[in-house]
Amino acid sequence: MHRLGPDKATLSVRTGRTGAAAKAGHDLVIHVTSWEAALEVGEDPAKTSIELTADATSLRVHEGKGGVQALGDDDKGDIRQTIDDEVLKRQDITFRSTGVQSAADGSPISVQGDLTLMGNTQPIAFDLAIGDDGTLSATAVVTQTAWGMKPYSALFGALKVADDVEVVLDGHL
């Protein structure tokens, strides 16, 4: 059993922007600062399981690219407040695998499971790569509207966060 958290890995959310005023906004890298995961790797891939829980109030803007001006600390605080109040509404995030398959050639492990966002559980699939040196990486695309979430918008809808966001895990077992 491998236990993961912010001390061993980085869990981040990467957003893009759309709309007529997209140039005014930023592509964000948001780190989840309070989370834990359990990875049970079985001899038989079918016996492998993954569970993850994240504190929805622990998302912090790490980086903002693009935009008319650089993101300041006040902007980052405003984004954090918006995530807490309007986007995730302080509801924890969970993932539980329902199936894991690996190829014999050492390519990434295919993971299927249930992701719960805003109290809505939907299936999701992604690949998990585990290197011989214990490094691990995974990227899952989460389409917000599939979980009943309305992507954040500003400027009367002229600036929107893209519906698809990437959730990225990078770390070491």
pTM of this structure: 0.87
Q: How many domains does the chain have?
A: 1
Torsion, Cα 27 170 74 72, to 10 degrees, reads: -60
Torsion, Cα 40 172 165 87, to 10 degrees, reads: 80
Look at residues 172, 169, 164 and name the one whose alpha carbon lies nearest to residue 17.
164
Q: What is the mean pLDDT of the segment spanning 39-48?
A: 77
Q: What is the CATH number of the domain that holds 48?
A: 2.40.128.110
- Six-digit token string for 36: 């834990």
pLDDT score, position 45: 66
Query: Is residue 96's pLDDT more than 70?
Result: yes
- Give the residue numbers spanning the domain of 96: 2-172
pLDDT score, position 6: 96
Q: In the chain, what percentage of residues exceed pLDDT 70?
A: 96
pLDDT score, position 104: 63
